[in-house]
Amino acid sequence: MRKRALVTGATSGIGEATTIKLADLGYNLIITGRRKERLTALQKKLEPKGVSITILAFDIRQKQEVDDAWNHLSAEELKIDILVNNAGLASGLDPIHNGSLDDWEAMIDTNLKGLLYISRLVSPGMVDRKSGHIINVSSIAGVEVYANGNVYCASKHAVQALTKGMRIDLLPYNIKVSSISPGMVDTEFSIVRFHGDKKKADDVYKGLTPLYANDVADAIEFIVTRPPHVNVNDMLLMPTNQASAAYVHRNNEERD
Ligand code: NDP
Ligand code: 8X3
């Protein structure tokens, strides 16, 4: 029987690339995000591969929406082998004294509370079946703090702490818990961070070759294909042009 994975934030970037990768590996999928039309397009693209794709469109910050979507799943769909907690965002890049409370709440509600809402629903089934794998998409921002990254970095540091806590709590139940911590990945991330300002977003990746969503999906493929006795605790994945959160080399060469 095919295994099933649930990927949050599958409408773009890392989540979309991971969904495609997992479909290629033969997983049935439950894909989530707010933009239903994108989920539907992905479903149409992947179903010809012979896998089943279930769409759940909801705002992960709204607990009631998350619960309602969850209650639509069949008993079969509730058996989730892999959970990829990917949905997330940075909103704004301001010093702490100028920060917007709305931006802060969006990041905390999505990156932290949303991840918790989903994990609280999915993990009991894994515990009952004594198997499962949770992969939390963290960031270099969960390992280092950089100027004006304050609340985004705090939210990803919290993801790192939760990953460790989940691993300890789920240890008796044969459940793997991993995190992946990428540096700069060229997705819609910076467009969202700069509230739709495409020019500012493009400047983030100017003159360097960033990671692409598929590079992160490749790493997630590595994480999920280890043998049963091996768990990848955390994987830090950086562009060659980025040494740390703050040190970036812009060589202006053509991208790979
Ligand atoms: P994208 O903006 O391309 O994708 C973000 C995804 O999260 C979208 O599918 C979006 O779906 C979903 N999402 C955001 N807010 C909500 C919400 N309120 N409810 C439901 N879904 C939501 O960015 P990335 O692919 O880059 O980001 C994916 C993850 O990777 C994030 O957790 C991010 O922090 C992390 N990351 C990104 C890096 C980068 O440089 N790009 C580096 C390190 C980590 P929709 O808008 O349809 O709801
Ligand atoms: C996204 C990468 O460096 O913008 O998590 O924080 S960074």
| 141 CA distance to ligand 2 middle (Å) | 6
Q: How far apart are CA 27 and CA 5, in angstroms?
A: 6
193-220 residue pLDDT tens: 999 999 999 999 999 999 999 999 999 9
> Does the model's pTM come out above 0.95?
yes
Residue 254's pLDDT is 76
- CATH number of the CATH domain containing 61: 3.40.50.720
Helices (H), the chain: 13-24, 36-46, 63-70, 101-107, 115-129, 150-170, 189-193, 198-204, 213-224
Which listed ligand is nearest to 14 at the C-alpha?
1
Specify the number of domains making up the chain: 1
pLDDT of residue 134: 99
Q: How far is Cα 216 from Cα 239, in angstroms, rounded to an integer?
A: 11
- Domain of residue 161 covers 4-237
Is 49 part of a structural domain of the chain?
yes
Pocket of ligand 2, candidates 160, 184, 190: which has the most ligand atoms within 8 Å of its Cβ, to mutate?
184
Residue-level pLDDT at 85? 99
Q: Is 152 a catalytic residue?
A: yes
142 lines ligand 1 (CB under 6 A): no
Q: Is residue 247 part of a domain?
A: no
* 154 touches ligand 2 (CB under 6 Å): no
CA of residue 53 relative to chain centroid, distance: 18
Contacts of 137 (CB under 8 A, 6+ apart): 14, 84, 85, 86, 88, 159, 179, 180, 182, 216
- With respect to residue 250, please indicate whether it lies within any of the assigned structural domains: no
pLDDT tens for 176-185 read 999 999 999 9
